[in-house]
Amino acid sequence: MTNKERAGHQKESKTRDHMAVAAHIRMLLPALSQGEQTVALWLLERGNLTNNPKIGEVAAALGISEAMVVKVARRLGYGGFKDLRADLMAYYANLRVEIDEELRREDSIPQIVRKVFATERSALEEVESILDIDAIAEAARIFIKARHRDLYGVGGSATVCADASHRFLRIGIRSSVFSDAHLIAMSASLLEEGDAALVVSHSGESKDVILGAEVARASGAKVITITNSIASTLARNSDVVLCAPAKEAPLMGQNAAARIAQLAILDTMFICLAREDYETAERNLNKVLTSVAVYSTNDRGRTERRGTPRADKNSPDGVQPAKETARKRVEL
């Protein structure tokens, strides 16, 4: 599916979901020219559309022609400026918190707590509103059937990949995480048809992971990407794209909100993987719990061995299930 087809599909399916408006626009920003981006970002800025301005007023404020305003609206999937303005005004009317007023130097600790949590809730709601359900299902299908699974991410995205790999392992889905450019390229070159690479990059323009995606696809593997835009270079080199666009907030930047959205997408994918074979996932989780519960620390700070789990002839894998209390402490 091309970027245009993906954008059209997502816009058509979410047209009246007002929470999707800003996320949809941010997702398409990299596909716009610099001048078009300036117009789109101005329209996204809260307060600029408060008085329901006419197209001529918008053009005058930006020092551009009315035709340019219409062009940007159409590039964003709207029939014209009026439709875009109506959706943006509805979006801001439903926001729980004003993003541009979230974090101020004079804020008290309670205010900071409230505003940070409100920002992240808003980011999650926006990403949920544009998330392609079919793409999530396809990503889970590819990943669970893959023989070998690589996860690529650099910087903060490497941490997201490590967290996902840890979760996958708990239900018996093995994967390898790479954050070094050379190791990414080396591992990608060894993938084959039937393998999968999951790539995380907010910008979608990191050269290290783009190369990994290109090499993985050339090797015959399927590439699943979590990024902010379907128009990014990484998205163009992927088989499945899951978008997590995020608005930049004072002090927090884009990456903080994007990280929360990326983790939520991966959590969703994790549950989708588990439900494909819930009994096996539960059995593997039970093995993991039993293994990590072998050692515990007593009151004097010494480590003592609890004992190796006894064999259970009634268990399919021969291991006695962990105690119910232990299982309740750890979630899927």
Q: What is the pLDDT of residue 255?
A: 65
Q: What is the pLDDT of residue 170?
A: 94
DSSP-based helix, strand, coil % in the chain, nearest 5: 55, 10, 35
Could you tell me the pTM of the whole model?
0.75
Query: Which residue from 213, 268, 296, 227 is spatially nearest to 6, judged by alpha carbons?
Result: 227
- Residue intervals of the chain classified under CATH 1.10.10.10 are 3-95
Inter-CA distances, 118 with 112, 124, 255, 273, 292, Å: 10, 10, 16, 29, 36
Q: What is the pLDDT of residue 9?
A: 42
Q: Which helix (H) or strand (E) holds 81?
A: helix 81-93
User: With a cut of 70, which residues of the chain have pLDDT below it?
Assistant: 1-19, 95-102, 247-255, 295-332
Q: What is the pLDDT of residue 191?
A: 97
- Residue intervals of the chain classified under CATH 3.40.50.10490 are 133-276
Q: How far is residue 16's CA from residue 126's CA, in Å, rounded to a whole number?
A: 13
Q: How far is CA 325 from the centre of its chain?
A: 33
DSSP-derived 3-state class of residue 150: strand
CATH domain 3-95 topology? Arc Repressor Mutant, subunit A (1.10.10)
Structure tokens at 253: 């930047």
Q: Does domain 133-276 have CATH number 3.40.50.10490?
A: yes
- Computed over its alpha carbons, how large is the radius of gyration of the chain? 23
